[in-house]
Amino acid sequence: EPEVTQTPSHQVTQMGQEVILRCVPISNHLYFYWYRQILGQKVEFLVSFYNNEISEKSEIFDDQFSVERPDGSNFTLKIRSTKLEDSAMYFCASSGSSSGANVLTFGAGSRLTVL
């Protein structure tokens, strides 16, 4: 079964450092997303990406965050200067027109710990 892969599975960083989380979406999917889940809380939407541009972003996705699809397979989330409250599990997801643009497949997540 096709899957979304994410790296790293866990990253520990110091406050103020830049972090890049990487994702390889399902190969024939066209829509890409980042969500996050702070420990013990609900999953929250960060950003959606289609046709090489951001489609929608939440209020969480401020100027410290950026996304990029640098090549045909990777989809990255960059946090420019991490804060303690950025500690969370970050899930990448993708969806495709054949399965339904709104039927998302999630990756296993990247756990970010900011010290």
Partner 1 sequence: RKEVEQDPGPFNVPEGATVAFNCTYSNSASQSFFWYRQDCRKEPKLLMSVYSSGNEDGRFTAQLNRASQYISLLIRDSKLSDSATYLCVVLSTDSWGKLQFGAGTQVVVTP
Q: Are 20 and 86 in contact (CB under 8 A)?
A: no
Per rule CB under 8 A, count of chain residues that contact partner 1 = 25
User: Cα 2 from chain centroid?
Assistant: 18
- Given a contact cutoff of 8 angstroms between Cβ atoms, the answer to whether 27 and 87 are in contact is no
Smaller CB separation from partner 1, 45 or 80: 45
Q: Determine how β-strand 110-114 pairs with β-strand 10-13.
A: parallel
Does residue 58 belong to the site contacting partner 1 (CB under 8 A)?
A: yes
Which stretch, 17-25, 62-70, 78-86, 94-102, contacts partner 1 (CB under 8 A)? 94-102
Is residue 96 part of the contact set for partner 1 (CB under 8 A)?
A: no
**Main-chain dihedrals φ then ψ at residue 85, nearest 5 degrees:** -75, 0
Among 7, 22, 24, 44, binds partner 1 (CB under 8 A): 44
Tell me, what amino acid is at 65? F
Site residues for partner 1 per CB under 8 A: 31, 33, 35, 41-45, 48, 50, 55-56, 58, 89, 91, 95, 101-109
